[in-house]
Chain A
Amino acid sequence: MSATEQAPALAEGVGTPTPAVRSTALLARSLRLWRTRIGALFVLILVVIAIVGPWVAPHGAAEFVAIPNSPPGGDAGVLGTDYLGQDVLSRFLYGGRGILVMAAVSTAIGLIAGVVIGLVAAYAHNALDDVLMRAMDVIMAFPQIMLALVAVSLVGAQLWVIIAAIAVTTAPRVARVARGAAQPVVERDFVAATESMGLSRVRILSGELLPNILGPMMVEASLRLTYSIGVIAALAFLGLSPDPNGANWGSMIQQNQIALSTQPWGALTPILAIALLTMGTGLIGDGIARTAAGIDRERGDE
């Protein structure tokens, strides 16, 4: 940020100075905080495991290697075997991809839908705003996991059903935040300036409003990702995943919990992975939020 001629720190005439931070700057600045760095490290490690895992796994995902529930050592491998005598380490290395892809895709769809709905509602100034937001309220009245369970039990545990169910339940929560963030922006004169030029509604929403709500939306994205991972893992734990016998962190917990006292690694490894992953996304979101708030304070009318 190049030097300004006048000191912005000193009160400047009437009107509030704008908290103007470019979204890229926000990300970069948030990485100065340790919590963001640690979160990013957790996420990075697990994403690498999920992507590279299947190629480096010592055994196949459904390969019998030793007696079921053998403790680590010998034929059983470094983490022992699971309830079917499969290698826990290999199952773990195979089991991340599905969860991560599903979480990322469903959250992305939910985010995009939510931001669009929120922006349209904030800009509408009329009944459309109420109609949209009340519809969102109806969806939000049900817990996310419950709607997902209903969808899966009605249609079946197919990939697209789970993704759609999570996207649909994510969208209203995102929409509420997006609308709240966009509402004060809509009232500002630069929006009126583009209206007087006759800029199309789509361009006003995407070019004028969206860049001004990116900060809160990044925080929301990481928060929603955390929840999506949780819901997908929970569904898999209940046996509701596209391939119930395939390797999957959620189903691993359920399948191996009975042996928790004798061969804890079968359940503990995926539990740790999910815990670290959600902690990581949560820490990143927290870091971005703190950075945004810190910058706002720095630039506030001080």
Chain B
Amino acid sequence: MSDRPSLDTANSAAAVSVQDLQISTTTGAQVVTDVSFEIASGEVLGLVGESGSGKTTVGLALLGHARRGLFIDGGTVMLGDHDILGMDDAELRRLRGSQVTYVPQDPASSLNPALRIGVQLREVLEAHGSTGAKDNAERIAEMMREVALSDDPAYLRRYPHELSGGQQQRVGLAMAFANRPRLIVLDEPTTGLDVTTQATVLATVRELAALHDVAALYVSHDLAVVAALARRVAVMYAGRVVELGLAEDLFVSAAHPYTRRLVGAIPRLAGGRSLVGIPGHAPSPGRRPQGCAFAPRCSLRIDECDVEVPPLTPVRPEHSARCVRAREVVQQTQAKVGDPIGMNPADDDSSVLTLTDVVASYGKTEVLHSISLNLEHHECLAVVGESGSGKTTTARSIAGLHRDWTGSIRLGDTELETSARSRSTESRRQIQYIFQNPYGSLNPRKTVGETVGQPLAVFGLAKGRDADRRVGEMLEQVSLSASYAQRYPDQLSGGERQRVAIARALISGPSILICDEVTSALDVSVQAAIVELLGNLQRELGLSMVFVTHNLPLVRSIAQKVVVLSEGNIIEYGPTADVLAHPTQDYTRELISNTPSLETASVQTRATRPPRTQPGVPT
């Protein structure tokens, strides 16, 4: 890659070098095997993988830490000339927070809720030897400015709960950069944030890392997010790095079939193709196959794949992959795995659901101001907006879960009561709701069969053997097997749980399905499979669907119409293709450009290279 600007830091000596890292459970199963990579000063390396791939475990190993039940049983993590893995507790304590820092996923739980943020920032400085009160105050003010927060003393006296999620995460970043570390590990710091906040946090990370020459490891399940700030990306699968290369190479011509499938699972703004998930499961530690761990799910599998784990083979400069057919795969063009979507045209103008002047409030605060919507037969309507825009309140009001609203919601010709409890059984059956978090929406004490069968009993549709049979059929319809009926939710993965929730919603034969951010808690590849399933079911069963999401490219793959909400108002409403291609409002445009996707990611990385030399403070 000769067009790399000379400013680029890739040629300088690596700040961090991980060699043959190996991590096992106390019972002997290998969780992470043969992981090696280097990060140069000022470089952000992305580490991408699905849940259970071992990416967070690797991230923590860079701090010399292994979670309970795991231990690091081989390899080296060299920070300059020092091996972090060989340090004793006292050395590690000095190292962490000063030389190596960590930004966890959930800012709300990583900040102490009982301490003012100014105090917490000062603690970070004092813990590593800085004592002068005046110096500290200056340093704190500087840190706050760097992460684009106010350095006003009144602001520093706030408690974490007085900040928004994005502001909390920026305080977390300020703490991580406070002692000018040499290495910073970011563990999905933007996963809980909406796209606009995510974009500013990503920009902050990118600029601070470049400005202070910090080596950064950015761990995420979302390839599009990682590509927005990392020059090189390592893809992990089943505890191994299967591919390591430049972000744009991975997007265009990945050399490992797994990476190709991951790229194919990312929603695209342009195109409007259906998403294709990766069939099968990643093998769990201890039951990984002898050969390539991806082989059982791979469409390019040959016999040689099962013999032994392929070594990391270079395919071009700065690009290597663990695949016996890497050189072949890299030549192929990235297949457009998804078919263009042939969405059912909405049936004429037979509205199944009509919202007229719906105003909803929480206590005295009005969160929805006069919303009017129309859902037609067989139509999928996407409701999009930032957090706090009122999209979930809209969905919950339709389902009667949020009671504090006025106006009119009509189901066909029936006027709906405000709360689900006072509605008729029939209208409750017609409208079914799927919740955002599949970890909370299934009763942990009930088997899958009991959960899925519950609507049959409540609505009096079937009982006994007939009910069991219908539960089995429904589970197969959502691509689980009937044997799942005996399992408990804690024995399922996130994607499987969400399938169970879909089965529960569909078993009573509803006409309207309300999906509230159903994929936001899931990995990108699982998200693709769930969206694919929902799309298929919608077409097969002739459902009408309200699809609430903050992910605009995802909308393109499933919805005919989209409504954009901001602060409780509808600001744009129309066919998906039109709204996404020609947004009329600045808000929509911003929402689109802030969403990491294949298109925006490559634009952003290019735009920020070479690294800015000015202390860029995003506004």
Chain A positions near chain B (C-beta within 8 angstroms): 1-2, 4-20, 22, 188-190, 192-199, 208, 211-212, 299, 302
Taking the closest CB of chain B, its distance from the CB of A197, in whole angstroms, is 5
Interface flag for B67 (CB, 8 Å): yes
The one of B399, B438, B445, B487 in contact with A22, judged by C-beta atoms closer than 8 angstroms, is: B445
Contacts of A10 in B (CB 8 A): 31, 51-52, 54, 56-57, 285
Taking the closest CB of chain B, its distance from the CB of A169, in whole angstroms, is 30
Contacts of A14 in B (CB 8 A): 105, 191-192, 437, 520-521
The docked-state distance in angstroms from the alpha carbon of A249 to that of B281 is 63
Q: In the complex, which residue of chain A has the Cβ closest to the Cβ of B445?
A: A211
B445-A212 in contact (CB<8A): yes
B493-A6 in contact (CB<8A): yes
The one of B428, B440, B487 in contact with A197, judged by C-beta atoms closer than 8 angstroms, is: B428
A12-B69 in contact (CB<8A): no
B420-A196 in contact (CB<8A): yes
The one of A5, A8, A18, A195 in contact with B444, judged by C-beta atoms closer than 8 angstroms, is: A18
6 cross-chain CB contacts under 8 A: A7-B52, A13-B221, A15-B440, A17-B490, A196-B420, A197-B420
Contacts of B359 in A (CB 8 A): none
A6-B435 in contact (CB<8A): no
Contacts of B435 in A (CB 8 A): 189, 192-193
**Count of A-B residue pairs with CB < 8 Å:** 129
Interface flag for B107 (CB, 8 Å): no
Contacts of B281 in A (CB 8 A): 5-6
A12-B421 in contact (CB<8A): no
Q: In the complex, which residue of chain B has the Cβ closest to the Cβ of A201?
A: B421
User: Considering residues B423, B439, B444, B496, which has the most beta carbons from chain A within 10 angstroms of its beta carbon?
Assistant: B444
A190-B492 in contact (CB<8A): no
Q: Known contacts being A10-B57, A193-B504, is A18 close to B493, with CB within 8 Å?
A: no
- B458-499 Cβ-contact flags toward A at 8 Å (1 or 0): 110000000000000000000000000001111111101000
User: Considering residues A16, A22, A189, which has the most beta carbons from chain B within 10 angstroms of its beta carbon?
Assistant: A189
Q: Known contacts being A9-B69, A13-B221, is A196 close to B490, with CB within 8 Å?
A: no
A194-B454 in contact (CB<8A): yes
Taking the closest CB of chain A, its distance from the CB of B492, in whole angstroms, is 7
A8-B401 in contact (CB<8A): no
Interface flag for B584 (CB, 8 Å): no
Interface flag for B425 (CB, 8 Å): yes
Q: In the complex, which residue of chain A has the Cβ closest to the Cβ of B425?
A: A198
A190-B51 in contact (CB<8A): no
**What 7 pairs across the A-B complex have the smallest Cβ distances?**
A20-B444, A15-B439, A211-B445, A20-B490, A189-B441, A18-B444, A7-B284
Interface flag for B4 (CB, 8 Å): no
Contacts of B523 in A (CB 8 A): 13
Contacts of A17 in B (CB 8 A): 439, 490
B443-A6 in contact (CB<8A): no
Q: Known contacts being A22-B445, A195-B420, is A9 close to B25, with CB within 8 Å?
A: yes
Taking the closest CB of chain A, its distance from the CB of B125, in whole angstroms, is 29
Contacts of A195 in B (CB 8 A): 401, 420-421
B284-A4 in contact (CB<8A): yes
- B263-283 Cβ-contact flags toward A at 8 Å (1 or 0): 000000000000000000110
B493-A4 in contact (CB<8A): yes
The docked-state distance in angstroms from the alpha carbon of A16 to that of B459 is 31
Taking the closest CB of chain B, its distance from the CB of A301, in whole angstroms, is 10
The docked-state distance in angstroms from the alpha carbon of A212 to that of B437 is 18
Contacts of A1 in B (CB 8 A): 491
A212-B444 in contact (CB<8A): yes
Contacts of A198 in B (CB 8 A): 420-421, 423, 425, 428, 458
Q: Known contacts being A10-B52, A13-B522, A196-B428, is A18 close to B490, with CB within 8 Å?
A: yes
A16-B284 in contact (CB<8A): no
The docked-state distance in angstroms from the alpha carbon of A10 to that of B439 is 15
Interface flag for B218 (CB, 8 Å): no
Contacts of B496 in A (CB 8 A): 5
A6-B51 in contact (CB<8A): yes
The docked-state distance in angstroms from the alpha carbon of A5 to that of B296 is 14
The docked-state distance in angstroms from the alpha carbon of A212 to that of B442 is 12
A189-B440 in contact (CB<8A): yes
Contacts of A192 in B (CB 8 A): 401, 433, 435, 441
Taking the closest CB of chain B, its distance from the CB of A123, in whole angstroms, is 13
The docked-state distance in angstroms from the alpha carbon of A22 to that of B421 is 30
Other A-B pairs beyond A10-B31, A13-B494, 13, CB < 8 Å: A5-B496, A6-B282, A7-B284, A11-B51, A13-B523, A18-B490, A189-B441, A190-B440, A190-B442, A196-B431, A197-B459, A198-B423, A302-B69
A2-B491 in contact (CB<8A): yes
The docked-state distance in angstroms from the alpha carbon of A211 to that of B451 is 14
A211-B443 in contact (CB<8A): yes
Q: Known contacts being A11-B56, A20-B444, is A5 close to B51, with CB within 8 Å?
A: no
Q: Known contacts being A196-B400, A197-B459, is A212 close to B443, with CB within 8 Å?
A: yes
Q: In the complex, which residue of chain A has the Cβ closest to the Cβ of B423?
A: A198
Q: In the complex, which residue of chain B has the Cβ closest to the Cβ of A210?
A: B445
Contacts of B582 in A (CB 8 A): none
Q: In the complex, which residue of chain A has the Cβ closest to the Cβ of B491?
A: A4
The docked-state distance in angstroms from the alpha carbon of A9 to that of B443 is 20
The docked-state distance in angstroms from the alpha carbon of A190 to that of B445 is 11
Taking the closest CB of chain A, its distance from the CB of B22, in whole angstroms, is 16
The docked-state distance in angstroms from the alpha carbon of A15 to that of B489 is 14
User: Considering residues A20, A193, A194, A199, which has the most beta carbons from chain B within 10 angstroms of its beta carbon?
Assistant: A193
Contacts of A299 in B (CB 8 A): 490
Q: In the complex, which residue of chain B has the Cβ closest to the Cβ of A12?
A: B51
Contacts of B491 in A (CB 8 A): 1-2, 4
Contacts of A5 in B (CB 8 A): 281, 284, 493, 496
Contacts of A189 in B (CB 8 A): 435-437, 440-441
Contacts of B439 in A (CB 8 A): 15-18
Taking the closest CB of chain A, its distance from the CB of B596, in whole angstroms, is 17
Interface flag for B68 (CB, 8 Å): yes
The one of A13, A18, A196, A208 in contact with B401, judged by C-beta atoms closer than 8 angstroms, is: A196
The docked-state distance in angstroms from the alpha carbon of A19 to that of B440 is 11
Taking the closest CB of chain A, its distance from the CB of B509, in whole angstroms, is 13
